[in-house]
Amino acid sequence: MNNYKNVFVVNHPLCCHNLSIIRDKNTTAEVFRSAVKRITYLLFYKATEDLELEEKDVNTPLESCKCNVLKSDNEVIIAPILRAGLIFSDIANDIMPFATVRHIGMYRDEDTLTPIWYYNKIPVEFDNPEKKIILILDPMLATGNSAIDAIKLFVNKKVPQKNIRFVSLISAPEGLKKLYDIYPDVKIITASIDNCLNDSGYIRPGLGDAGDRIFNTVEN
C-alpha cells in the first residue's frame, strides 16, 4: 500500500503485463530487456510530467503559432546507477536527447548490504543547482541504501529535493520508507511496491538480480 505523497506507482495495464514477464524466472535475457524497456517508457512519462514549460513562436508550413517547449534554463540530468541502471538510460536518451548523462557507479556489499562506490561522473559543484532536474535510475529499490547515497550526492551540491526523481521497476516497503523518511520531497516513481525484503536483502516476490538478468550473467 502507498501512503506517501511523493511516491507514484504506475499501475498502467501495460506496466502490469510486462511486470509479469520480467518476474517470470523462465524469461530469457532478450525478452527480459524488451519488457523492461516497455515499462521504462511508462515510468518516464510519469517522472517527467511536471517539467516546466515556456511559450515559443513556431512557424508551421502554413502560419506562425505559439507552442509549449521545455523551459530553456532548466537542465535535465540523467543519473543511472551502474550497471543495471544503464537499460533505463537508453530509454531516457530516446525521450530526452537534450539531457546530460552522469553515471554513478556503486555495488552492494552482500554481507553488510551497504553501497560501495567505484565511479562518480558528477562535477564537484553545479552552476545554478536550483535549475537542475535530476533523474536517478536504478531498477530495484531494495534496502534504499544506494538510492539514499545517490540522492545525497546531489543534495550536497545544493540541488533541491523537489528537483530530484528516483525511478525504479520494483520497490520494497523497507527501502521506500527509509528513503522517504530522509528525503520526503524527492519524487519516487515505481511500477510496483512488493511485499518485503528477505534476509539477504532481495525484494520478495521481486524478479531476482536485475543486473544479472539484463546482461545475461545469471549463474545456474
C-alpha cell recorded at residue 38? 516497455
pLDDT of residue 125: 81
Per residue in 112-152, pLDDT (tens digit) is 767 777 777 787 788 899 999 999 999 999 999 999 999 99
Concatenate the DSSP letters of all residues of 117-145 into one string: EEEE---SS-SSGGGEEEEEE-SEESSSH
* Residue 8 pLDDT level (bands cut at 50, 70, 90): very high
CB-CB contact of 165 with 186 (8 Å): yes
pTM of the model: 0.89
Q: What is the pLDDT of residues 177-211, one digit of tens each?
A: 999 999 999 999 999 999 999 988 899 999 988 88
Q: What cell does 117 get? A: 562506490
More confident residue, 219 or 151: 151
Fold of 7-58+65-214: Rossmann fold (3.40.50)
* Radius of gyration of the chain from its Cα atoms, rounded to whole angstroms: 18
Structural element, H or E, at residue 38: helix 29-47
Q: Residue 88 CA to chain centroid, in angstroms? A: 7
Strand 115-120 vs strand 104-108: parallel, antiparallel, or unpaired?
antiparallel
| H or E segment to which residue 171 belongs | strand 164-171
What pLDDT sits at residue 59? 97
Instruction: Identify the band that residue 1 occupies on the pLDDT scale cut at 50, 70 and 90.
Output: low
Ramachandran region of residue 77, left (φ > 0), alpha (ψ -120 to 50) or beta?
beta
Query: Among 37-41, 94-98, 115-119, 148-152, whose mean pLDDT is lowest?
Result: 115-119
In this structure, what are the phi and psi dihedrals at residue 187, rounded to the nearest 5 degrees?
Answer: -85, 125
Please say if the pLDDT value at position 220 is more than 70: no
What mean pLDDT, rounded, does the chain reach?
90
